[in-house]
A = this chain, B = another copy of it.
Amino acid sequence: MVDVAREAGVALRTVSRVVNDDATVGAELVERVRAAIANLDYRPDERARHLRLGVTGTLGAAVRQLSHVNPVLRAVERAARKADLMVLAASTEDDEQIERHVVESMCRRRFDGILLEPIGADHGYLVPELAAGLSLVAVDRPVLGLDVDCVLSDNVAGIETAYSHLVAHGHRRIAYIGDDERIFTAQERATAFRACVRASGGAADHMIHTGPILPDRIQAALESALSGPGAATAIITGNATLSVEIVRRFRDRSDDVAVVGFDDSELATLLRPDLTVVAQDDAAIGDTAITMLRNRIADPATPVRKVTVPVTLRPRGSGETPPKSA
């Protein structure tokens, strides 16, 4: 930059002014500086700029898996681009150690704010960061034990909608196969399901199967749910991955079991009948998250908000199958 100044025969400060196109510099000088910049191909160093300015214009996104389908992240990138902010993302792999490493790296890099899909683990390491002014918004899951902004899907309403949709189509014995309840969303959905069963006067015991996503576990859950005298006539799956696993197993059997899946995905229309799903409003979640994060950055004293975004039932066929015994 000092070279550019020398080349153009102006002061350092003037080059800076030209780079940040400050209006108070004469047209002729601007030209001369521009030429010098091109000549020496000078490239501004954001590190120094950010250091001096204090802000970085950068948002961090710490998500489970970058390389998985994540429509919320796409919405986030879009919303941030509109606000002229750069989003830089990294995976936490749902590993407590990695999450911490990623988030702390972003803090040390002084990102203006962080979007986090938190793991259900101890987030004590965040306390000093938050105290030091970190702007953070949790997405999809809350941060346990800490009062931070978050935006979640309405898991309870989603399960209730799925359940009553199946009831409306004549089902009385509905099973739920879900993810490990140590995961927040899985826990919330399972709890909501138990409440549904209880409200309709049944016992949930044989009807709810949660645990890790492993082929054997899923197979066993499916067999347990669909066999015996009180066999289920409909299944609600706890997330997109499980929907795939369940549907995969239905290729080979011809039972007319109704299925409603949680989370939409491109696989939903791969089979006959198409999969009825409870879809999250990804765009709304992403937009809301960015808005909340920007608000918090602008004013760290903003009261903490916990936003719940509505979900939508998308009937496509698999959830409208009547019970086979009916």
Contacts and interface: CB of A to CB of B under 8 A. Distances in A.
Contacts of A70: 66-67
Interface in A245-273: 247-248, 251-252, 266-267, 269-272
Interface size class of A (residues with CB under 8 A): 35 or more
Interface string A44-56: 1111101100001
B45 A131 contact: no
A48 B46 contact: no
A251 B72 CA distance: 30
Contacts of A252: 272
Contacts of A68: 67, 69
A105 interface: yes
A308 interface: no
A303 interface: no
A237 to B, nearest CB: 14
Contacts of A267: 267, 270
Contact of A90 (B56, B88, B131): B88
Interface stretch (A22-30, A106-114, A185-193): A106-114
Number of copies: 2
A126 B41 CA distance: 12
A89 interface: yes
A73 interface: yes
A86 B110 contact: no
B248 A44 contact: no
A82 interface: no
A6 interface: no
Contacts of A72: 67
Given A65-B74, A68-B69, A88-B90, 14 more contacts: A41-B132, A43-B107, A46-B105, A46-B108, A46-B109, A47-B109, A66-B77, A67-B74, A69-B69, A86-B102, A86-B105, A248-B269, A252-B272, A271-B271
